[in-house]
Amino acid sequence: MDIRAKLLQTPYTAFPAPVWKERIRLSAIDAPAVWKPWLMDRGSLTQHLVKASHQQFSVQLLSLAWQYPSLSEAQALGIPLRHKALIREVILKGQNEAWVFARSVIPASTLTGRERQLHLIGQRSLGSVLFSDPTMRRGPLQTASIQVDSHTLWARRSVFRLSNKPLLVAEVFLPALEQVHYSPSRY
């Protein structure tokens, strides 16, 4: 089974829990060189993918449901472990290839006021919403490697705040992205 099929058929929480580490410098990441700029860029991943795909970018919604976040996710968000959150999982595609698996954890307390719209995002990119919101603040990036069969996947996550309300976004870079040219942000 290829890695994309395995990700689509296996719940994220069934994989070994990643050990997330906060990174301040690119040189502190032990990932292969090809992944380092993707892991440390604080700009919009969506904008990078749209550009790299020559506007052939799409979002495939895998799931959107009220679930319990993992211990690590609850700790990152500062919420009690047994509080359900709206969890959204998607595949970000470029030129119809799966490039990124993304998981967003949105506490119920975040889905109030203007942020209530987040549960209606559907097939749209969450990044397009986050990076257009003037109240958005991004916390430190954390990186991890995830072992899936014989593949080592690299991932990053960070807590975003909209109107000072938290949500966690994790992005797992899939093997097809390795062939995509990374160009630095100019936004």
> What is the predicted pLDDT for the residue at 177?
94
What pTM was computed for the model? 0.90
Query: What is the percentage of the chain residues whose pLDDT exceeds 70?
Result: 86
Instruction: Summarize pLDDT for 2-43 with one digit per residue, the tens.
Output: 665 666 556 666 566 788 888 666 566 788 888 988 998 888
Report CA dihedral (40, 132, 168, 88) to the nearest 10 degrees: -120
Instruction: For 115-172, give the DSSP string.
Output: GGGGGG-TTS-HHHHHTT-TT-EE---EEEEEEETTEEEEEEEEEEEETTEEEEEEEE
22 is in an annotated binding site: no
Once rounded to an integer, what is the mean pLDDT over residues 119-133? 92
> What span, in angstroms and rounded, lies between the C-alpha atoms of 138 and 65?
24
- For the chain, domains (ranges, CATH) are 28-179 (3.40.1410.10)
Closest CA to 160 of 21, 80, 44, 37: 44
- Angstrom distances, CA of residue 171 to CA of 23, 109, 116, 134, 150: 15, 23, 22, 22, 19
Task: State the pLDDT at residue 186.
Answer: 54
> What local confidence, expressed as pLDDT, does residue 159 receive?
98
88 assigned to a ligand binding site: yes
